[in-house]
Amino acid sequence: NAGVTQTPKFRILKIGQSMTLQCTQDMNHNYMYWYRQDPGMGLKLIYYSVGAGITDKGEVPNGYNVSRSTTEDFPLRLELAAPSQTSVYFCASSFGQAQETQYFGPGTRLLVL
């Protein structure tokens, strides 16, 4: 099992550019999550999904979009990159509800200049 994988590991974007952060899990987990972590801060939930075709907003969804067409994949889309989106992005998954352990991917470091 690869667990949760994320690509790319690092990316530099110019203001106004768009990109998609990829996340894939091979554990057949129903729940998937996107977090951002700013330096010295905790994790903030951006979006989450409880299964294919079902997504919902977390604490900080503005400027992001998601889709979940399969159980395995949960891409995060940035449409118009802004410096405030400079952060480390983590994808996570859990088998059942949020009461269960979340397994994290290695993260994507994004720098918007």
Q: Which residues bind another protein (CB under 8 A)?
A: 31, 33, 35, 40-45, 48, 50, 56, 58, 90, 97-99, 101-107
Q: Which residue in this structure is represented by tokens 């118009």?
A: 80
Question: In the complex, what is the shortest distance from the CB of residue 43 to another protein, in angstroms, rounded to a whole number?
Answer: 4
The smaller minimum CB distance to another protein, of residues 31 and 64, is found at 31
84 φ, ψ (degrees, to nearest 5): -65, -15
Q: Which residues contact 89 (CB under 8 A, 6 or more apart)?
A: 6, 21, 34, 35, 36, 37, 46, 76, 107, 108, 109, 110
The smaller minimum CB distance to another protein, of residues 18 and 95, is found at 95
Question: In the complex, what is the shortest distance from the CB of residue 94 to another protein, in angstroms, rounded to a whole number?
Answer: 9
